[in-house]
Chains A and B, each alone.
Chain A
């Protein structure tokens, strides 16, 4: 547990660094369209069991994706989210977080 927390904290720090160096919402949009859109919808407002992404800041999105990528159980949709996040790079997460937090307010 302790080691996984350290991994998450480390990843979150790396993510913050990536954001600080300028995340690319346009690249995030491309990932969103190919990976996220089918469940969260074209405007991120969520559908059926898939939650809305609206109103979340980049830190929240980035932290959640990092947790999913690390295999942490976050909620009942974890088995659906983890496979989506497992191959995301820090840069991908930063770009996605930038896109979602700016586009879906």
Chain B
């Protein structure tokens, strides 16, 4: 082995020690022991899962499409994307993947037993230059096909061209999580597409959490500011990929990617502004590459994360004093926070009703990569952070893209590497 690797390893050890030193003060001791089962492996960027009460699991792969794993382990490939040939029961040639874009979130209708409906969010080129769409489909009686596709949201922005930014390729920042809330509405999270105008725009529906009914109509109870798209539940986000509902208060809470700093967990308020505004020539900033300041200053090189946060805050309280305050900012790091769920059921012991957040890991400019699942314990009313514990994993960590609590009470975790894991207390 060359000297270089030894140096890198030493650096990694130092980084680990620093991380441990920092987190040991904030994180409680982890005394749990989880069992692990590999549910599926060899997948292509599995993005999300949704369960029926009997354990039937729908799942998406970003560049492949929608499939379902039956309780006996049989897998049916339901809806393929462009380029999957005849691998799926049917193929939608308008669905494609590019960079971070592709087939993303999936949710099962709470009334599935009656209407057999599922909802899937995917990138589509049906209209130029492409959009992200939320599709409603009906699952066949034998779970081998889907039909009756209806695009209930067809106008979420998509980034069609590369820009001068880190991760600047096409397809950036689509949000992508789809969940039914306890109120019976669908919550869809979207992203800023590296476009400075999107987050605070009243009419562009990127950078929002949308709350809609099964037909895509705005929830009547939404209270966005005047002039906003009525589907808007909250706005001013960067790229929300995690949303979960507090098990006792039913309040939606999001987990969100930071730029080169500050991943955030935020309790949503109907009509609230998350305070992300990466437009140039405002809040003390000048021009920025391709009119997006999201990674500035010094966007291509590492620097102190707190200096970055002061220049381009994830939540800009100076400009938006009433912005929704984050509960947690990941100690100022950005490490690829992606998904969120709540652990319910007595089997989770002290972690019952705690939130879990999946972190994919981004090693840039001295940031510890940080692939892990964090257990976020909140106050009883879900409004304050009590503790953060890094889950001791019974398997190797990975890029944790999706966390979903299964009907058996176990936590299911997909990683970009291609596995869906089951973690049981």
A-to-B contact residues, CB < 8 Å: 27, 30-31, 34-35, 38-39, 41-43, 45, 47-49, 75-80, 83-84, 87-89, 91-92, 95
Contacts and interface: CB of A to CB of B under 8 A. Distances in A.
**B-side interface size class:** 35 or more
A34 B4 CA distance: 11
B364 A83 contact: yes
18 contacts: A31-B2, A34-B12, A38-B399, A41-B416, A41-B418, A42-B417, A43-B418, A48-B62, A49-B169, A76-B163, A77-B166, A77-B169, A79-B300, A80-B364, A83-B364, A87-B4, A87-B7, A92-B2
B40 interface: no
Given A41-B417, A47-B417, A76-B165, A92 B300 contact: no
Nearest to B338: A48
Interface string B13-25: 0000000000000
Given A47-B45, A87-B8, A92-B5, A75 B169 contact: yes
B302 interface: yes
A35 B162 contact: no
A80 to B, nearest CB: 6
Of the candidates B166, B299, B301, the one having the most CB atoms from chain A within 10 angstroms of its own CB is B166
B9 interface: yes
Interface of B: 1-5, 7-9, 12, 44-45, 62, 99-100, 162-163, 165-169, 172, 299-302, 360-361, 363-365, 369, 371, 399, 416-418
Contacts of B302: 83
A48 B360 contact: yes
Contact of A79 (B163, B301, B369): B301
Nearest to B295: A79
A39 B85 CA distance: 28
A30 B166 contact: no
Contacts of A77: 166-167, 169
Nearest to B397: A38
A45 B63 CA distance: 12
B371 A91 contact: no
A76 B99 CA distance: 11
A47 B416 contact: yes
Contact of B172 (A30, A35, A42, A49): A49
A43 B364 CA distance: 22
Nearest to A90: B2
A35 B8 contact: yes
A47 B166 contact: no
B4 A92 contact: yes
Contacts of B162: 76
Contact of A76 (B12, B44, B166, B301): B166
Contacts of B1: 27, 30
A45 B197 CA distance: 34
B4 A88 contact: yes
B413 to A, nearest CB: 15
Contact of B99 (A39, A49, A78): A49
B167 A38 contact: no
List the 6 closest A-B pairs by CB distance, nearest first.
A76-B168, A47-B416, A79-B300, A76-B169, A49-B167, A79-B166
Nearest to B417: A41
Contacts of A27: 1-2, 5
A83 to B, nearest CB: 7
A34 B364 contact: no
A92 B168 CA distance: 28
Contacts of A89: 2-4
A88 B101 CA distance: 32
B364 A79 contact: yes
Contacts of A91: 2
A60 B361 CA distance: 27
A42 B419 CA distance: 11
A39 B45 CA distance: 12
Nearest to B172: A49
A77 B364 CA distance: 11
B99 A31 contact: no
B268 to A, nearest CB: 25
Nearest to A49: B167
A31 B167 CA distance: 23
A83 B416 contact: no
B261 to A, nearest CB: 15
